[in-house]
Chain A
Amino acid sequence: MNHTRVATVWLDGCSGCHMSLLDLDERVLDLADRIELVYSPLVDSKEFPEDVSITLVEGAVSTSDDAEKIRLIRERTTLLVSLGDCAVTANIPAMRNRFSVEAVLERAYVHNAAIGGQVPGIEVPRLLKRSRPVHEFVDVDRFLPGCPPPPEAIFNLMSELLDGRPTGSSIITRFGA
């Protein structure tokens, strides 16, 4: 049996969507039978591979690094899924958008530092002026809202995609779910 090449990506999010994916419990095994997880924070591969069939993206695009990564992922992926509210709406990461990047960094690294706070220089990726949803950077094929999307919703979507059935037939998630 041909395994579908699947990747999952973690951009600016809390990893809750990935946790929800793992919450599939024993059904993870059903999925695992049908897919090959070629890239994911859950597996040990450093380079995003070519020819990925389905990529699930968690998180908003918040840094220059995220932006670069998502464009590469789009190039190498047939079907891109925005997984969860951060990817779909920018959600929590976007709550900083009302403030300037400088103010946000000041607050995080200086005001809230216990001792001798300092805004990091070149070691960390540059924050974009605004944290934005994935589809504002690249075309996205499917959207699965939820914070996080419930495991059933992820399972349904994955089953539908793997079976080649139309997606979104049963709504079991919503923004903020």
Chain B
Amino acid sequence: MTDRDYFKGKPRTDVNPVRILTFKIDGRDVTAREDETILTVARQNGIFIPTLCHLDGLSERGACRLCMVEVKGSDKLFPACVTLPRQDMEVMTDSPRLNEYRKKILELLFSERNHVCSVCVSNGHCELQDLAVTLGMSHVRYEYLYPRHTIDASHDRFSVDHNRCVLCLRCIRVCDEVEGAHTWDVMGRGILCKVITDLNQPWGTSETCTGCGKCVHVCPTGALSEKGKSVSEMSKRRQFLPYLEMMRRESRK
């Protein structure tokens, strides 16, 4: 068992049997299984917490840091997507301080690569763009880094534009965990990180890629798109993920 399995929401029977507990989110009493994350419980109760790397049906990474919440009695911030509730915990998902941190993280993301919304295939269908509106980010206070990134359009049907990539690694996870091909991975470190196909070979020459296109549809931005789509034309559909998850669960029974 790796930690990936852990975050897939498997009951932690190795520790103790699953219990039901009650706690508060934004002053509301909620109940949860002890192996559900704060994010899951919040969503079930219609409480909004912004996320970017999270996607229902994929393992959690806890990496984008947008879902940070406050817990009463602690000065620390907790990522809701990987934090499990405790009995009588009081979680706050919305405060000026949280909003400010979330905005700054979003601004850092916008400053990192070349997100030119106006000419992007995903303009109007982009989670990053939507987050800017939701969080009220009117401009970026950090200097843009303007890195030089390439576009790999060697695949017959898809292309990857690293200028738009936010390194959420959903593509890697869906390819590995759902499709089972593990064509995608990440190379490099820090600001030089980059998602790659096979061992950094052109996507079009990949021998492992099944061409299923799941990566394209889970990508939150215009980094992965279908060829032939022009500005604003690339909308994504992700309903297959919970469906696939359900079908696999059923077939295991």
Are the C-beta atoms of A176 and B120 separated by less than 8 Å? yes
Tell me which residues from 71 to 130 in chain A have a Cβ below 8 Å from any Cβ of chain B.
82, 85, 88-92, 94-95, 97-98, 130
- Given A91-B118, A143-B139, the answer on whether A175 and B146 have CB atoms closer than 8 Å is no
The digit string for B114-129, where 1 denotes a CB below 8 A from any CB of A, is: 1111111001100001
Q: Which listed residue, B119, B141, B146, touches A92 by the CB 8 Å rule?
A: B119
Q: Which listed residue, A88, A94, A140, touches B146 by the CB 8 Å rule?
A: A94
The digit string for B80-116, where 1 denotes a CB below 8 A from any CB of A, is: 0000000000000000000000000000001000111
Are the C-beta atoms of A94 and B133 separated by less than 8 Å? no
Are the C-beta atoms of B146 and A89 separated by less than 8 Å? no
Interface presence of A133 (CB below 8 A): yes
Are the C-beta atoms of A133 and B146 separated by less than 8 Å? no
Q: Which listed residue, A82, A130, A132, A174, touches B139 by the CB 8 Å rule?
A: A82
Residues of chain B within 8 A of A92, CB atoms compared = 116, 118-119
| A95–B144 CA distance with the chains assembled, in angstroms | 11
Residue in chain B with minimal CB distance to A143 = B138
- Given A143-B139, A176-B129, the answer on whether A91 and B146 have CB atoms closer than 8 Å is no
Interface presence of A54 (CB below 8 A): no
Residues of chain B within 8 A of A91, CB atoms compared = 116, 118
| A177–B182 CA distance with the chains assembled, in angstroms | 35
Are the C-beta atoms of B139 and A135 separated by less than 8 Å? yes
Are the C-beta atoms of A88 and B138 separated by less than 8 Å? yes
Are the C-beta atoms of A171 and B133 separated by less than 8 Å? yes
Residues of chain B within 8 A of A130, CB atoms compared = 146
Interface size of A by Cβ–Cβ distance < 8 Å?
27
Residues of chain B within 8 A of A89, CB atoms compared = 110, 116, 139-140, 144
Distance (whole angstroms) from the CB of A169 to the closest CB of chain B: 11
Residue in chain B with minimal CB distance to A132 = B144
Are the C-beta atoms of A175 and B117 separated by less than 8 Å? yes
| A89–B138 CA distance with the chains assembled, in angstroms | 10
Interface size of B by Cβ–Cβ distance < 8 Å?
24
| A142–B116 CA distance with the chains assembled, in angstroms | 20
| A10–B139 CA distance with the chains assembled, in angstroms | 19
| A94–B140 CA distance with the chains assembled, in angstroms | 14
Tell me which residues from 134 to 177 in chain A have a Cβ below 8 Å from any Cβ of chain B.
135-136, 140, 142-145, 147, 168, 171, 174-176
Are the C-beta atoms of A98 and B146 separated by less than 8 Å? yes
| A82–B132 CA distance with the chains assembled, in angstroms | 17
Are the C-beta atoms of A176 and B114 separated by less than 8 Å? no
Residues of chain A within 8 A of B136, CB atoms compared = 168, 171
Tell me which residues from 9 to 59 in chain A have a Cβ below 8 Å from any Cβ of chain B.
none
| A44–B226 CA distance with the chains assembled, in angstroms | 47
| A87–B123 CA distance with the chains assembled, in angstroms | 18
| A90–B114 CA distance with the chains assembled, in angstroms | 11
- The residue among B124, B130, B138, B144 with the most chain A CB atoms within 10 A of its own CB is B138
Interface presence of B202 (CB below 8 A): no
Q: Which listed residue, B114, B118, B147, touches A85 by the CB 8 Å rule?
A: B118
Residues of chain A within 8 A of B249, CB atoms compared = none
Q: What residues of chain A have their CB less than 8 Å away from a CB belonging to chain B?
A: 82, 85, 88-92, 94-95, 97-98, 130, 132-133, 135-136, 140, 142-145, 147, 168, 171, 174-176
Enumerate the 10 nearest inter-chain pairs by beta-carbon distance, A residue then B residue, closest first.
A176-B117, A147-B118, A143-B138, A175-B117, A97-B146, A176-B118, A176-B123, A143-B139, A98-B148, A174-B133
